Every structure is written in C-alpha cells, then in structure tokens.
Amino acid sequence: MSVYPWQSELLQKLSDDRARMPHAILLYGSSGIGKYDFARQLAKSLLCLTPVASGEPCETCASCGWYLQDNHPDFRLLTPEQDAENEQNSAAAKKNARKTQISVAQVRELGSFLELSSHQSNGLRVVLIEPAESLNAASANSLLKMLEEPPAGVIFILVSHQINRLLPTIISRCRKIDMPFPDRATALAWLNQQGMKNAEQLLDYYGGAPLNVVRNNGQDAGTESANLFLQGNNLDPFLAASKSVLLGMEVALDALQKWVYDLLSARLTGQVRYYNRHATALQALSKEVDLSMLLDFQRQLDEARKSANHPLNNELQLETIFLTYTQLFMKKTG
Ligand SMILES: [Zn+2]
C-alpha cells in the first residue's frame, strides 16, 4: 500500500523535511479524500527504519512489520472506537454503542506511553488522533497539556474533518496541513483503477470525494432516488416512501438533500453538483418550484437528518416528507 496519487507530493515534502518535523501536525480537510489513510501511512513511514526515497515506508524492516501487525510499541492510536472497547464492561456503555468521543481516560493513558523511551534506534514515537473533533472539553484540555510540553521524539498527528470544532489552543500548537482534494480527472482515474463501475456518476453523487464512493461500496442510491424525484408533483408519496426506506433513513435523506441542493442551485445559478446526468431535467423542474417553499423544505430535511438515527417510524416520516416535496411544484409536471 502507498498513499493516494493526489497525496504523494505531500508525503514527499514531509519526508524531505523529516529532520525538522514539528512535534504536532494537524491534517484537515473534507471527508472522503483519504486523510486518515495518509496519516496511517505517514506514521508508518516516520517509524520506519529505512524509508524509501519517495517517503513511503520500506515495508520490510522490523518497524514496518510491527506496524503491519498492529503491534508497534512506539505507536498509539486514539479513536472513539477505542473508547467503546475500554468501557465494554459497563452496561450503560453497551447500551450506548455508538461512541463519538475520545474520553479523558484515553488521553490520560497516553501519559504513561509518553514517559517511556522509544524502542527503536531512530528514537521516534507517534500518536495518531482521529478524528480530533471527537475530543471533548476534558480530553482536549488534557491533550493540550501534552502538546504544550511535548516529550522528546514524540510526534502527534491529528486528523480533522471539521477543524472549526477544535479548540483554537490545540490548533495553534500544531502545524496545519490542508489535505489535497483530488481533481476530477485524478479521482476518476483512481476509481477506474479500483474497478468501480459508473465512476463518473458516483463521483458526482459523492461530491467529488473518491473515498466516499469506495466506502459506500459504489452504492448508487442516486440513480434509484433520482427516478422517483424526477416525477415532481406526480410522485406517489407512499410508494416513494416504501422504496426509499429500503435504502436506510440516512441514505434516503442524503439522496433527497442532494437533489434539493441541485434544484436550488439549478434555479439560482443554472448549475448542478450531484446529479449531473439529470442537469436538463433539474433545470426544467427548478422553474416549477416555489422558491420559498423549497428553502423551507431544505430546512425541514436538515432537521429530519439530525434525527435520522432515532427509532422513529421512518416510513411514515418519509411519506410526510415526500408529500411536502410534491407540493413544491406549482404546476402539474411530467
Ligand atoms: Zn520500514
């Protein structure tokens, strides 16, 4: 494995600068562009005893071997999942299975790791924190103390999709790296290489972020949903809800939010973003919608998205949403 093609220049640059590597770096940018994979590869490369000229790890030294086995004594990973593992014994924690925070206990545990010295001749140790926005107030403050007095040879790598949610004092302790977003041609070439079918259409649907296409296994929620949305006020809300609910509430709402984004964008700028294949139809439909109702509908979808994980009656909720959708159109369409 190596970093993604749109990241190789950055890895090279960081590697050339290895001697002056700051003790904390913050990799930030959109979701779905491979920040975490890059961070993992960078960590492995920093720990590698004989990295190659491109900055990639050698994959053959003892350090690379430990890393591959998830067993490197000089490496620590902090994620919310780890939190769930640590609290497995608590019944309350089990109930609340979806972990979203890195706890202060997790950060404190780092303390003893930081007191040790490196197991290797290069003297480096790496702590990877992902996503950094999952630090809560207590754990962020605890980490801040470590960043203020960094032990020799330790490099902190923080990864963030939402840098505006981090404490400014944490950001100021890190070298910020704006992670490259692949251009369309590069992303398409890479997706084709992965054997992804309908790569163009999917890349549009996932907002140009190739890793989100792969993460969703090329799930083409857009095609099926678009066939429904295209019907405008001829859409049968009950039929649409019974079909959409099979996608799962989050996916169904995501598909509709993107459609509504495109409707609004077609109306205001003539451009669409997610459903390029239907650009002409969207432009025609957008002329039929009541603009203020469309804006209200967009807000309604945002609200529904927030509660998408609640055990509500999803199909019923979708019926209401689709009924409102059909009412957006002032004239009979189709
Ligand atoms: Zn190596």
Least confident window among 76-90, 136-150, 258-272: 76-90
User: 150 C-alpha to center of ligand 1: Å?
Assistant: 25
Q: Which two tokens stand for residue 124?
A: 């480096």
Ligand 1 center to residue 214 CA distance, Å?
28
> 278, 227 in Cβ contact below 8 A?
no
Report how far ligand 1's centroid is from the alpha carbon of 2 (Å).
13
Centre of ligand 1 to C-alpha 177, Å, is: 24
Output the pTM of the full model. Answer: 0.84
pLDDT of residue 81: 65
Token pair for residue 242? 């019974």
Which ranges in the chain are annotated with CATH 1.20.272? 220-327
**36 CA distance to ligand 1 middle (Å):** 19
Task: Return residues with CB closer than 5 A to ligand 1 (ion).
Answer: 48, 57-58, 61, 64
Q: Residue 36 and residue 13: Cα distance in Å, rounded?
A: 18
Gap from CA of 55 to ligand 1 centroid (Å): 11
Query: What is the side-by-side order of every strand in the sheet holding 175-178?
Result: 75-78, 125-129, 154-160, 24-28, 175-178
Q: How far is the CA of 154 from the centre of ligand 1 (A)?
A: 18
Assign domain 220-327 to its CATH architecture: Up-down Bundle (1.20)
State the span(s) of the chain assigned CATH 3.40.50.300: 5-181
Q: Give tens-digit pLDDT for 79-138.
A: 996 444 444 444 444 444 567 899 999 999 998 888 887 787 778 999 999 999 999 999
CA 252–ligand 1 middle distance (angstroms)? 44
Q: Give the up-direction half-sphere exposure of residue 238: CA atoms within 13 A in the CB hemisphere.
A: 0
Predicted pLDDT of residue 120? 78
Per-residue confidence (pLDDT) for residue 317, from 0 to 100: 92
Ligand 1 centroid to residue 111 C-alpha, Å: 26
Q: Per-residue pLDDT tens for 150-196? A: 888 999 999 999 999 999 999 999 999 999 999 999 999 999 999 99
Distance from Cα 263 to the centre of ligand 1, integer Å: 51
The correct CATH number of 5-181 out of 3.10.20.30, 3.40.50.300, 3.40.50.2300, 2.30.110.10 is 3.40.50.300
Report residue 230's pLDDT band, with 50, 70 and 90 as the boundaries.
very high
Cα–ligand 1 centroid distance for 1 (angstroms): 13
Is pLDDT above 50 for 211? yes
Q: What token pair was written down for 103? A: 């706890």
| Integer Cα distance of 28 and 69 in angstroms | 27
Q: Rounded to the nearest whole angstrom, what is the distance from the C-alpha of residue 52 to the centroid of ligand 1?
A: 8
Whether residue 214 is predicted with pLDDT greater than 70 in this model: the reply is yes
Q: How long a stretch of residues is the chain?
A: 334
Cα 49 to ligand 1 centre (Å): 5
Q: How far does residue 50's CA lie from ligand 1's centre (Å)? A: 5
Expressed in angstroms and rounded, the spacing between residue 61 Cα and the centre of ligand 1 is 4
Residue 210 Cα to ligand 1 middle (Å): 28
Gap between the Cα atoms of 286 and 195, Å rounded: 35
* 3-class secondary-structure state, position 27: strand
